[in-house]
Amino acid sequence: MGPWQTKSKQCGGGFDLAGKEVEIARLDEKSASPEIWNDPQTAKAVMRDLSSLREQVTTWNTLAQEVADAAELLEMAVEAGDEAMIAEVAADAERLSKRYAGLEFQLALGGPYDRSGAILSIHAGVGGTEAQDWAQMLMRLYLRWVERRGYTGEITNLLDGEEADIKTVTIEVSGPFAYGYLKAERGVHRLVRISPFDASARRHTSFALVEVLPLLDENIELDVRPEDIKMDVYRSGGAGGQHMQKNSTAVRLTHIPTGLVVTCQNERSQLQNRESAMKVLRGKLFDIELQKIEEEQARLKGKHVEAGWGNQIRSYVLQPYQMVKDLRTDVETGNTTAVLDGEIDLFIEAWLKAQVGTQGN
C-alpha cells in the first residue's frame, strides 16, 4: 500500500498544483478587468495561459484521484483475498504508471518558451581544420535530427573555415517544442578520434560550442532600443563564383550596452539579413536574462554553475573505442554512427527528465 499512497501524493507535486491554482486565480481576476480588453494582444495571451493552466491542473487532479481510488480498491481486494480484483487493479496500475510518466516528462517542456522555435548556433573551438570539421559534423547531426522530427531548419548564417569546413553556423529551427528539446544541447561538445587530417594518424581531441536560443515572437517585450544598435554592412563571404554577392548585403549588428555582436549573410537582401540578425540578437538578450535568473536560483541553492567553454556536456569518442556519453546524466551508447546521424533523443529526454527532478528544490 505504501508505494500507491506515495504515488497518489506525488501526483502533481513537481507540477506545483498549489502554485498553478494561485496563478489561475490571478489570471481570472485579470481577465475580469474591463481594461484588459483594450489591448487585444494581452487579452489573448492571458486567456491562452488561463486555458492551458486549467487544462493542466484538471489533468493532474484527475490522475491523482484515479490513483487514490485504485489504492483504495487494492486495499479492499487484498483484505477480501480477491485474486481476480487484485489482478485487475494491477493492470490498471500499469496504465496509470505509464500515464504518470508521460505527464511527468511533459513538465520538462512546460517553460514559457518551450513551445517556440529555436535558434541553434555551432562554433568551432581552437584547433583549426580539426575543430572546424567537428563543427561541420555537428551541423549535419542537428540537421538530420531536425529532419527526423519533421521540423524545418534554415541556415541563416554560415562562416566557412580555411578549407572545406565551417567556423560557425546558425540554424533557425521551426517546429513545436523545438526550443524545449534543443535547450538540452547547450554547452561544449567534445570529440576524440584519429584525425583524418593527421598524416601520422594520431588521436586528436576537438571541441565545439553549441548555443540554443528561443525564437521569440515579435509581441514579446524586450528593452531593445534602436539607438542601442549599431549596424554595419559588408559583402557576404563565400567561395565566390556566380553567386558571390557584389553588393553589401551582409549585416553585423552590435548591441552597444552589452557588446553583443550578431552577423547574418546568407540571405539575398540586406533587409532579410537584418531581420534574421535581429531574431538572433533578441534571443541572445533574452537568454542573458534567463541566465541571470538561473544563476541567482543556483546561488540561493548553494550550487555553483560555470558557464562558457568550461561547461562540457557530452563526449563523443570514436577512438580507441566507440562511445557517446552525456556527462550530466551519465546516459551513454556505443552506437556512435546513429548519434552522429541525428539520433540524440535518448540524451535530450534523459536531461529533460532530470530537470523535472530538480525543479522547485
* pLDDT, tens digit, 9 for 90 and up, residues 225-264: 888 888 888 776 544 333 334 456 788 889 888 888 888 8
Find, among 214, 187, 169, the residue nearest to 310 by Cα.
Answer: 187
DSSP code string of 83-145: HHHHHHHHHHHHHHHHHHHHHHHHHTT-STTTTSEEEEEEEE-SSTHHHHHHHHHHHHHHHHH
Per-residue model confidence (pLDDT) at position 16? 67
Provide the grid cell at 345. Answer: 533523443
pLDDT mean across residues, the chain: 80
Per-residue model confidence (pLDDT) at position 246? 44
pTM for this predicted structure:
0.64
Give me the residue spans of the domains in the chain. 2-107, 117-358
Label each residue of 48-72 as H, E or C: HHHHHHHHHHHHHHHHHHHHHHHHH
Per-residue model confidence (pLDDT) at position 2? 47
φ and ψ of 355, to 5 deg: -65, -35
Q: In this structure, which amino acid lies at residue 214?
A: P
In CATH, the number for domain 117-358 is 3.30.70.1660
Rounded-to-integer distance, Cα 120 and Cα 173, Å = 7
Rounded-to-integer distance, Cα 276 and Cα 282, Å = 10
What CATH class is the domain 2-107? mainly alpha
Per-residue model confidence (pLDDT) at position 57? 83
Per-residue pLDDT reduced to its tens digit, 68-125: 888 888 888 888 888 888 888 888 888 887 777 767 666 778 777 788 899 999 999 8
Q: Report helix, strand or coil for 39.
A: coil
Pairing of strands 323-326, 312-317: antiparallel
Per-residue model confidence (pLDDT) at position 265? 79
